[in-house]
Amino acid sequence: MTDEEILHAFRTAKEHEPPLEAIIAAREQRETITPHLLGLLRRWDTDAAVMMEEGDWICPGIAILLLGEFREAQAHELIVSICRKDEVVLDFLFADDVFDNARPMAATFSGDLEPLKLLVKDREADQFARAVALSAMTALLQQGHLSKESVEQFFADLFHGGLEREENHVWNELTNLCGDLCMTRLLPEVRKAFAEGLCDETYAGLSNIEIAMEGRDPWMGYRREQRFAEIDVLEELKGWPYFQPKREIGKDSAGNDFGLFDEETVLPPSYAPSAFESVTQPIRNEAPKIGRNDPCPCGSGKKYKKCCGMPF
């Protein structure tokens, strides 16, 4: 495949059909395809409105993943700059969660920490993108590119005026990462942030952060492994809802939809439609309403609309 054919395959990829052949070809033609991928990101960085009119969100998403897999340092500032766009642009580009982990930012790190710092402190930027920049710093620390002292000092600066004193997801991620990194010196500041209502207790929780600082969090090792994980574009695309295998809507005996299942799924007897047909009282959800742009209460760090609130 030529470089142009690869990009065309990305742009025209159909639902449920990831462009596997084109990705493999891009890997084989890394030297020639990289300038095209960088050029695409530059166009998004300089003229996002025009790019949105073209309607292509798949190609830039794959481009970011490929450049992350290639560890292309020229992509770092472009990715960070794009993440400083408004929520309309970010939702258009990253609705399939390309940016809900920090690995592309960390993988393309050029050695200059200033772009990440500026994103974290940018009060006009999307709160989730700012939080991702913090996670990227943590990944860089754990990979040995940054010292714990430098990151801890930056976090301390955020507590002492670097962040606006109002609840948002940046505070959730900042306090959570202090726990993951066992920054016990910052525990008084973490407690103060919770006391002032800057953090969502359902995201991580002060008690869980305190446990993490003591090194007793059983999930800490898993999160560390995730930050070290290499980017594999083919594996990443398996997690995009757009490329999920085609599913069928199940029907009950009255012909009503009752769920989405893989075509091969065999329901156990307790979950067969007849098990629900005898229910006479409606089930009411008594839990507080969750906004689509709120952090998902499951603790994934994603927006609700891109996690448990994602429509099938």
Q: Taking residues 46-65, what's their average pLDDT?
A: 92
Rounded to an integer, the average pLDDT of 96-124 is 86
Structure tokens of 286?
């008594």
pLDDT of the residue at 244: 84
- Mean pLDDT computed over every residue of the chain: 83
The tokens describing 281, both together, are: 């009282």
Looking at the predicted structure, is the pLDDT value of residue 223 above 90? no
Closest CA to 66 of 187, 182, 236: 236
pLDDT at 284 over 60: no
User: C-alpha angle 181/185/189, rounded to 5°?
Assistant: 95
Checking if the pLDDT of 209 tops 90, the result is yes
Residue 216 has pLDDT above 80, yes or no: no
Q: Using 50, 70 and 90 to split pLDDT, how confident is the model at 193?
A: very high
pLDDT at 249 exceeding the cut of 60: no
> What pLDDT does residue 264 have?
45
Of the given ranges (60-64, 174-178, 307-311), which has the lowest mean pLDDT?
307-311
Instruction: Give per-residue pLDDT as tens, 126-138.
Output: 999 999 999 999 9
Question: What pLDDT, on the 0 to 100 scale, is given for residue 207?
Answer: 92
Task: Tell me: pLDDT of 139 over 50.
Answer: yes
Comparing C-alpha atoms, which of 118, 143, 139 is closest to residue 130? 118
Using CA atoms, how far residue 214 sits from 5, 205, 210, 223, in Å, is 53, 15, 7, 16
Given this model, what pLDDT does residue 162 score?
Answer: 95
What was the pLDDT predicted at 222?
64
Q: Determine the residue type at 301.
A: G
State the pLDDT at residue 309: 56
238 falls in which pLDDT band (50, 70, 90)? confident
| Separation CA 260–CA 67 (nearest Å) | 34
Q: Which helix (H) or strand (E) holds 262?
A: strand 257-262
Average pLDDT over residues 24-48: 97
Closest by Cα among 68, 97, 79, 88 to 42: 79
Quote the pLDDT of residue 98: 44
Q: Work out the pLDDT band at 38, boundaries 50, 70, 90.
A: very high
pLDDT in tens, 166-189: 999 999 999 999 999 999 999 999
Q: How many CB atoms lie within 10 A of CB 185?
A: 12
Choose from 38-47, 96-105, 135-144, 282-291 the range with maximum mean pLDDT: 38-47
Tokens found for residue 262: 């893989």
Terminus-to-terminus CA distance in the chain, angstroms? Answer: 33
Within 10 angstroms of residue 228's Cβ, the number of other Cβ atoms is 12
Per DSSP, the chain holds a count of helices (H) and strands (E) of 17, 2
